Homo-oligomer: A and B are copies of this chain.
Amino acid sequence: MSVDRLIERIRDFANPTVAGLDPRMEYLPEDLLKKHFDALGETPEAVAAAYLEFNKGILDALQDIVPAVKPQCAFYEALGPAGMETFRQTLLYAAELGYYVIADAKRGDIGSTARAYSEAFLGTLAIGSAAYTAFPCDALTVNPYLGSDNLKEFLKDCDEYGKMVFVLCKTSNPSSIDVQEMMAGHRPLYKVVAEQADRAGAKRRGAYGYSPVGVVAGATHPAQLRALREEFPHLFFLVPGYGAQGGDVFDILDAFDRHGRGAVINNSRGIICAWQKAKTGDYAAAARKAAAAMRDRIRKHVQFF
């Protein structure tokens, strides 16, 4: 089961980090971008080629340090079809290297349309006698606003293909209070969403008690993260907001259970932009060093069984 594989990789690496592959032109060394501009002009194709080279460099450098990666779809989508090709190739290359791959696309729609999104990421689309998965991954982030018939479509493919979803619950951004903290009766909406995810996962729990229906809960809201951990011992967390967004190691400690299980901690800029702070052109080596430092920092406080 997908969530068990994630837990075991975190244990084997003694590292709960997921490296966010969120490329932007300004995050790439100038000469890398220039090389592709020289070859293909100032085109989305050139940037897409540069992103892919950049991502592969990062993926090669982190493969024995970081158990999981999370490409953020938006940055690829902004480059159109060429960017989506790079998104696809990034997912495939990461899987080839053994990474647990989380596609961060935050999809959600009415049932019949959610089916198409689920086929794009988790399941397969039948094309004649062939089967095609556009953006293959182990897990997908999903938006809860459309309700259970949206989630159901993704869960079908979780069950059939051994995949996982992370439902947006309490996101890392400041304005997550606007909707997610609306009081629904005596509890904030994000807890209602967590309850719905917990219920959907109840019959799907794996060897470690966690279900493949996880939630997103930001490191920038440590009190909410703690409250969620206490109330929902079977919910696995994807925790964004560590590093550049302000979350520190002490903000995420309560995300784990006493076996060091229950959460993956995302860091994007802190890893892929480490070369800028280190003032080196070797972005891959800088990413490796930053990822190792993050791992070691967390290891001081959490043990992974």
Contact = CB atoms under 8 A, between A and B. Distances in A.
Contact of A127 (B43, B106, B240): B43
Interface string A50-81: 00000000000000000000001011011111
A196 interface: yes
A193 B179 contact: yes
A126 to B, nearest CB: 8
Interface of A (DSSP majority class): helix
Interface residues of A, number: 70
Contacts of A189: 179, 182, 184, 189
A143 B196 contact: no
B79 A25 contact: no
A93 interface: no
Contact of A145 (B127, B128, B143): B143
Contacts of A144: 145, 178-179
Contacts of A75: 113, 116
Given A106-B109, A174-B149, A134 B185 contact: no
Which of A111, A117, A173 is most buried by chain B, counting CB atoms within 10 A of its CB?
A173
A303 interface: no
Contact of A120 (B74, B146, B172): B74
Interface stretch (A7-15, A82-90, A221-229, A253-261): A82-90
